A and B are shown apart, each in its own frame.
Chain A
Amino acid sequence: MNAITRRAALATAAMGAFTFGFRIPAPGEAAAQSAATPEVNAWVVVKPDDTVIIRIARSEMGQGTLTGLAQMVAEELECDWSKVTTEYPTPGQNLARGRVWGNMSTGGSRGIRESNELVRKGGATARIMLVQAAAQGWGVPVDECSAANSVITHGPSGRRASFGSVALAAGRLTPPAAADVPLKAPSAWKLIGRPLARLDTAPKINGSLIYGMDLKLPGMLNAAIQACPVFGGKVAAVDSAAAERMPGVKRVLRVGDNAVAVVADTWWRAKTALEKVNITWNLGEHANASSAAFAEVMRAGLDAPQAAVGNRNGDAAAAIAAAPRKVEAVYGYPHQNHACMEVMNATAIWTAERCEVWTPTQNGEAAHAATAEAAGLPPARCEVHKLHLGGGFGRRGAVHDWVRQVVDIAKQMPGTPVKLLWTREEDMVQGRYHPVTMAKLTAGLDAQGNITGLHMRISGQSILAGLFPQNIRDGRDPVVFQGLNNAGGEADIGYGFPNLLIDHAMRNPHVPPGFWRGVNLNQNAFYLECFMDELAHAAGKDPLEYRRALMANYPKHRAVLDAVAAKVGWGSPAAPIGGQAVHRGLCVTHGFGSYVAACAEVSVSDAGELKIHRIVAATDCGFAVNPQQIAAQVEGSFVYGLTAALYGECTVKDGRIEQTNFDSYPMMKMDTMPKVETIINASGGFWGGVGEPTIAVAAPAVLNAIFAATGKRIRQLPLRDADLRRA
């Protein structure tokens, strides 16, 4: 491994200290910035100069979890916040240390809600050890000493010691058992709940943060790749003669059974040469698949006799049959690409002894497992170095297709570091897409317009069937019912219906699904909350009061709905803007452990032009760790959610995705961005997620407002082709 050691030295010198908090380890380098200083425990390193390095197991992709988790460790550590920096432990270290950092997966808005106790105990344990080390040094009882602001004080004598001065001794102590580590009561929190500035902003405003795309290792080559555009298709033949004559080209390689890569000195040359490779595809059995054909499959599922039950009480069919009035509507939600700003990429170096990968990933452990499998090496001989993500949104967590590709390439060029970077076009057509579904909602209404029974039949794609089929039991994917479950979970329906049936006829297309920020809550909230609005209208009742009448047993759902209604002034008409009447729409849901509601204010011109003026959104995430970052996530959720509602659709023709870049897959920009007012309605007592739940309320709030403005119901997303001139 001498070659690698030499490279490590070169790389370290070349890369210097250009990251803030996160230094990128070079090949073969075992540890990160804390390497020179022994740790106090797995979570905390204190340098002699009192710098506190907090280890963060989850991945930062913009959602602020890095800062939030550091706040929680620091809360219990009693350290000086201004001295805090952070680093990622590697998946290889986690494996070697018996998963001391727990689950590294960063998805499902679980960063804080799942690991809050683990990280707070990590901070508290380190504090106990630091205090004990100081007490032993002074020869005084531990209970006469206390820690605050990175200083340990002996009460009776007033002696003081900085964390940095006792950290070495503390790290040699036996840590207390986790059960013996008490945590502060929420009332005693000093850092949790404060709107602290993010720890990772400085390198993001001067171009110095190294994303995966930016990594450069000595001797590194660059790869561009194209996989078969039809999912399931394979490479039949490759004519690479012309490409191999192009400047800078080193190799033209088959990758797996479905892709071809060009490896060159620069990526631009690799990409240019790839366009000259003549690839013959065996398109496989899905070469004629289309969105239109699959829509018919889903439509048949809306009335299929067989369906998996997600939520049921009473006898909805009988109640609907007996009702004097029946309301029915069919909705649909398309495939969508995550479209992370940073396209998929990874760098790998493979030798017969070891394989290392540098990549932005939402799940370091899954990336590590994928690396080992693709490398044909035991996990202990593999390592993954996580880099900050240029967007994740679920694309970079569950599958690591791009990691397998880069390892496959590196394995064909032993000892040479290779960086694989997808084109935007490859990223668009090789995604893991938002599941495509339809829903038929049927309600019985009595003479007063009250709901006697509701049947919601979902038909379409299951994410779990595509990604984790082992979790499907008797054809039932429990995640499909997100936001529609019976009470007591993390994603529950917020209404008490006298008779209810929610079921799912699973129909899976050949397009691979993925967890897409907001996941199944997105379509479920759209279906249910727009239909609730339809029912309120059919009953001739106010959409807020109609909902509230069913929410007696759902006080947290109701509280966020009430909060937005109060702030927006529901009940009194909105002031016109630019001579246009302004109309409102409401929505409430529960997902990822948090309760969220929104009200949209829109106007629609006579020509059918939509303007979204203002959004008021409320979130009850239980404990609010960093309010300004929660507000940032809520604001951002409307960009992601409204982009999906207004424009987001990936269609299939001839087995392949038709949209290839932002010209055919447009994004919301600043000219159409509404103002967003965030209410943090944190009721305490639980830990809810923040990054995802609000996505789901964006579309229904706006669509219900559009109905109020125009009398038109939009039941198929995206909105962009809809004629919004008044009905």
Chain B
Amino acid sequence: MAKLNVNGRVVEFAVEDDTPLLWALREHLDLTGTKYGCGIAQCGACTVHVDGVAVRSCSQPVSAFNEGQKIVTIEGLSHNSSHPIQQAWLALDVPQCGFCQSGMIMAAAALLATTPRPTEEQIREEVNNICRCGTYNRVIAGIQRAAGTGTAG
């Protein structure tokens, strides 16, 4: 059994303790916006927030979490994609295939939560998710836009 606080709602469901949080979210709560990419915390496609901190959900068992921790997935990040990161993504057409972007957005949002005006260096170091389409430069520009630190042009 697991009892989790996900996107502001406490849910209780039957699951083996060693099931990764990622698969609990995807298969038991139908929150499929969080993606499986590698299963070994290398790519970040599975990034969610736990108490505001970016966590790679593929490599943490569901038993490591309790209802006192606030888990937020891409579906719960905002209403109507209104988070500044999502708005910047929309304005700059950041995604290509889009598959890694849930994780990328969650990583970027977590960065801004702790570092509202990150330097480009900080962005490059802190957001280390993998994107195979190669959206990195628009991701950087998107974070800067959301943070209000972007340079014109």
Chain A binding site: helix, strand, loop or mixed by DSSP?
Answer: loop
Asked if A204 contacts B43 (CB within 8 A), the reply is no
Q: Mark A193-209, 1 if CB is under 8 A from B, else 0.
A: 00001101111111111
Given contacts A268-B19, A670-B139, contact A207 B34 (CB under 8 A): yes
The smallest beta-carbon distance between A63 and chain B, in angstroms, is: 7
Asked if B98 contacts A213 (CB within 8 A), the reply is no
How many A-B pairs have beta carbons closer than 8 Å: the answer is 173
Given contacts A62-B133, A207-B75, A388-B97, contact A671 B128 (CB under 8 A): yes
The smallest beta-carbon distance between A544 and chain B, in angstroms, is: 26
Interface stretch (choices A319-327, A406-414, A631-639):
A631-639
Looking at the complex, which one of B90, B102, B137 makes contact with A673 (CB distance below 8 Å)? B137
> Which residues from chain A contact B99 at a C-beta distance below 8 Å?
211, 340-342, 390-391
Interface stretch (choices A119-127, A348-356, A527-535, A660-668):
A660-668
Q: Mark A622-650, 1 if CB is under 8 A from B, else 0.
A: 00000011001001111110010000000
Looking at the complex, which one of B89, B98, B128 makes contact with A209 (CB distance below 8 Å)? B98
> Which residues from chain B contact A628 at a C-beta distance below 8 Å?
93
Looking at the complex, which one of B90, B93, B97 makes contact with A389 (CB distance below 8 Å)? B97
Looking at the complex, which one of B31, B78, B123, B132 makes contact with A391 (CB distance below 8 Å)? B132
Asked if A214 contacts B98 (CB within 8 A), the reply is no
Of residues 661 to 718 in A, which have CB atoms within 8 Å of B's CB atoms? Answer: 661-663, 667, 669-671, 673, 675-676
Asked if B36 contacts A670 (CB within 8 A), the reply is no
Asked if B95 contacts A205 (CB within 8 A), the reply is yes
The smallest beta-carbon distance between A555 and chain B, in angstroms, is: 30
Most buried by A among B27, B31, B98: B98
The smallest beta-carbon distance between A382 and chain B, in angstroms, is: 26
Looking at the complex, which one of A63, A636, A662, A676 makes contact with B42 (CB distance below 8 Å)? A662
Of residues 471 to 507 in A, which have CB atoms within 8 Å of B's CB atoms? Answer: none
> Which residues from chain A contact B140 at a C-beta distance below 8 Å?
670, 673
Q: Mark B46-65, 1 if CB is under 8 A from A, else 0.
A: 00000000000000000000
Looking at the complex, which one of A202, A269, A391 makes contact with B133 (CB distance below 8 Å)? A391
The smallest beta-carbon distance between B11 and chain A, in angstroms, is: 16
> Which residues from chain B contact A222 at a C-beta distance below 8 Å?
27
The smallest beta-carbon distance between B6 and chain A, in angstroms, is: 13
> At the interface, yes or no: A223 with Cβ under 8 Å from chain B?
no
Q: Mark A242-278, 1 if CB is under 8 A from B, else 0.
A: 0000010000000000000000001111000000000
Looking at the complex, which one of A201, A213, A392, A643 makes contact with B95 (CB distance below 8 Å)? A201
Q: Mark B75-108, 1 if CB is under 8 A from A, else 0.
A: 1011001000010011001111111111001000
Given contacts A207-B34, A661-B38, contact A62 B128 (CB under 8 A): no
> At the interface, yes or no: A541 with Cβ under 8 Å from chain B?
no
The distance in angstroms between the C-alpha atoms of A263 and B34, with both chains bound, is 23
Of residues 24 to 63 in A, which have CB atoms within 8 Å of B's CB atoms? Answer: 61-63
Asked if B105 contacts A632 (CB within 8 A), the reply is no
Q: How large is the interface on B (under 10, 10 to 19, 20 to 34, 35 or more residues)?
A: 35 or more
Given contacts A207-B33, A391-B99, A628-B93, contact A639 B133 (CB under 8 A): yes
> Which residues from chain A contact B16 at a C-beta distance below 8 Å?
247, 269
Chain A residue nearest to B82 in the complex (CB): A206
Given contacts A268-B23, A343-B36, A424-B39, contact A205 B134 (CB under 8 A): no
> At the interface, yes or no: A339 with Cβ under 8 Å from chain B?
yes
> Which residues from chain A contact B127 at a C-beta distance below 8 Å?
670
> At the interface, yes or no: A423 with Cβ under 8 Å from chain B?
yes
Of residues 169 to 228 in A, which have CB atoms within 8 Å of B's CB atoms? Answer: 197-198, 200-211, 213-214, 216, 222
The distance in angstroms between the C-alpha atoms of A425 and B71, with both chains bound, is 28
> Which residues from chain A contact B123 at a C-beta distance below 8 Å?
670
Asked if B136 contacts A205 (CB within 8 A), the reply is no
Asked if A341 contacts B130 (CB within 8 A), the reply is yes
Asked if A206 contacts B74 (CB within 8 A), the reply is yes
> At the interface, yes or no: B124 with Cβ under 8 Å from chain A?
yes
Asked if A206 contacts B77 (CB within 8 A), the reply is yes
The distance in angstroms between the C-alpha atoms of A671 and B124, with both chains bound, is 5
Asked if A670 contacts B81 (CB within 8 A), the reply is no
Chain A residue nearest to B96 in the complex (CB): A62
The smallest beta-carbon distance between B146 and chain A, in angstroms, is: 12
The distance in angstroms between the C-alpha atoms of A107 and B96, with both chains bound, is 16
Chain A residue nearest to B91 in the complex (CB): A197
> Which residues from chain B contact A670 at a C-beta distance below 8 Å?
123-124, 127-128, 136, 139-140
The smallest beta-carbon distance between A626 and chain B, in angstroms, is: 10
Asked if B137 contacts A341 (CB within 8 A), the reply is no
The smallest beta-carbon distance between A372 and chain B, in angstroms, is: 27
> Which residues from chain A contact B132 at a C-beta distance below 8 Å?
339-341, 391, 393, 639-640, 643, 667
The distance in angstroms between the C-alpha atoms of A343 and B58, with both chains bound, is 15
Given contacts A205-B101, A636-B134, A667-B43, 13 further A-B contacts (CB under 8 A): A201-B95, A202-B90, A206-B74, A206-B86, A207-B31, A266-B23, A266-B27, A341-B45, A391-B99, A391-B133, A662-B38, A671-B124, A676-B137
Between-chain CB contacts (< 8 Å), 14 pairs: A61-B97, A198-B95, A201-B89, A202-B90, A205-B90, A205-B95, A206-B75, A207-B32, A222-B27, A268-B23, A340-B132, A424-B37, A663-B42, A670-B139
**A-B residue pairs, 10 tightest by C-beta:** A207-B33, A639-B134, A636-B134, A62-B97, A390-B99, A204-B98, A62-B96, A207-B74, A214-B32, A662-B42
